[in-house]
Structure 1
Amino acid sequence: MAQRPVQIVFLDRETISPQTVLRPVSFEHELTIYGRTTRDKVAERIAHADIVITNKVPLRQEAIEQAGNLKMIAVAATGTDNVDLVACARKGIVVSNIRGYAINTVPEHVFALIFALRRSIVAYRESVKAGRWYDAQQFCYFDYPIKDLAGSTLGIVGNGTLGKAVASIAQALDMRVLFAARKGDTNQSAGYTPFDQFLAESDIITLHCPLNDHTRDLISTREFSLMKRKPILINTARGGLVNEPALVTAMRQGQITAAGFDVTTPEPPDNQNALVQLLDMPNFILTPHVAWASEQAIQTLADQLIDNIEAHYQGSPRNVVAAPASV
């Protein structure tokens, strides 16, 4: 009796550029591709799958338990907060993610935001558009602050691949770099600055940590009150790291100088989202979760995604987030 092809289901292909080449896997399979999948369709679409590919579609306990053939979830991203890892471990389902692919694209996006905000690029562009330059009747005007990066302090939350890459660029720009210790950690580790001190001393803060129960609302009302230098806040990681209503208050009250965000809660945001309401401010930039999305990075991601699937099929799973376990 012939063995049935491995059933692979891709739940949200539209989250990866259509120009990206997804190499075929080397074993017999049937690949079912959905451009996008709403939460109410997840269980139905993965019911008979052996391998599920997801970028941002949530895979929760109920849907996972109903998927009788499921052996692997291949996450087309680094973050796995959309996958119930406990439920996967209980059923012996391997979860693999993508690593190291964004080492250039995310740090470059971070500094694009930093440069734009530190030098008030958006504010000056909008003022020129409104006729301010002509009205000034001279070769320049000084309506908005412009500050060098050299000599300033960059605070980084997260000392992983991306945090280190951001630090490397900052050091090349003659910036002082601080890495934050874990919030609430009273045991100071070498190379880390206590969290409250970190908030007080940073001119710019950038977040590069995962979203979990320990980091949700990492930055909120209390933390903004400790930011003595009124820093620029950059978030290209996850929206839930920063309490969005608290950010709005901090921006409106001038507790921070500016903010550049590439993420919101939820995504996509509607017109009532707190961050969307800040777009009238020239010192706030919101981009649509594209810090990771250079052409080179997306192709690297796609290649690694297929490699993860191949490795699992060959019995040597890689980039494992939740190893098979019996509960």
Structure 2
Amino acid sequence: MEKIVFLDSATIIADIRRPGVAHQWQEYQSTGAEQIATRLKDASIAITNKVALRRETLEKLPGLRMVAVAATGTDNVDIECCRERGIVVSNIRNYSVHTVPEHVFMLMLALRRNLLAFHADVRNGAWQKSEQFCLFTHPVRDLYGSTLGIIGHGAIGKAVAQIAAAFGMRVLRAERKGAAEVRAGYTGFDTVLSESDVITLHLPLN
């Protein structure tokens, strides 16, 4: 029977589907670094979202056979150590392919329009004090006609590019940094940095 331990269930608001095989399920809302080894002592499968599983911890867990990352990024898991120990690492592909791009444009619009700065001015009475019923205390920039540099062109990067095109933005897909050749449809990394009004990152953290 598999023993499955979810180390940080409070980081996810979702109904987690349990596996169809015989198993024992243990769930913790959060787990501190000093608690990991104890909680995974008899586990064959560990589920983590934010809790880091480093070499010094993994080497104390001879029975661990799989780490399931409840997210896309696996930077919180020592992949090399897992490979050496025969531990399978899985993640969630194409995760939040609508939510993340929408969030990108929420932030982009707020920054280009100086939303927070204008909000603070209004709260401080600047609008009421204006003699012309106008407020020009901060610059306002359109997305239309501006240049968006996308570094990382997976499912989320592609979705961001589609929304950017609908806004009328010029989209540059960055080639890998230091690449000897620039692929068709991509732009040199340094060129993207120098020409973009906004840069958005959608790639693994390493």
TM range (shorter): over 0.9
What's the counterpart of residue 98 of structure 2? 104
What's the counterpart of residue 301 of structure 1? none
Percent identity between the aligned chains? 54
Question: 1:14 is paired with a residue of what secondary structure?
Answer: helix
Gaps of 5+ in 2: none
Shift of 1:62: 2.3
What's the counterpart of residue 116 of structure 1? 110
| Alignment partners' CA distance in 2, 1:69 and 1:23 | 23
- From 115, 138, 141, the equivalent of 1:144 is 138
Amino acid at match of 1:45: R
Find runs of 4+ consecutive structure 1 residues off by over 3 angstroms: none
What's the counterpart of residue 70 of structure 2? 76
What is the count of residue pairs matched by the alignment?
206
| Alignment partners' CA distance in 2, 1:6 and 1:37 | 20
The answer to whether 1:87 aligns with 2:81 is: yes
Amino acid at match of 2:59: E
Question: 2:67 is paired with a residue of what secondary structure?
Answer: strand
Amino acid at match of 1:72: M
Amino acid at match of 2:60: Q
| Alignment partners' CA distance in 2, 1:6 and 1:186 | 47
| Alignment partners' CA distance in 2, 1:155 and 1:145 | 21
What's the counterpart of residue 188 of structure 2? 194
| Alignment partners' CA distance in 2, 1:141 and 1:46 | 58
Shift of 1:63: 1.8
CA RMSD of aligned residues (A): 1.2
CA contact (8 A) 2:71 2:95 kept: no
Gaps of 5+ in 1: 213-327
State the structure with bigger RCO (CA 8 A, min sep 6), 1 or 2: 1
Shift of 1:101: 2.2
CA contact (8 A) 2:52 2:76 kept: yes
Alignment TM-score, normalising by the size of structure 2:
0.96
Within 5 Å, which residues of 2 pair with 1:164-183?
164-183=158-177
CA contact (8 A) 2:148 2:196 kept: yes
The answer to whether 1:210 aligns with 2:204 is: yes
Question: 1:140 is paired with a residue of what secondary structure?
Answer: coil
| Alignment partners' CA distance in 2, 1:100 and 1:118 | 28
| Alignment partners' CA distance in 2, 1:184 and 1:26 | 46
Amino acid at match of 1:86: E
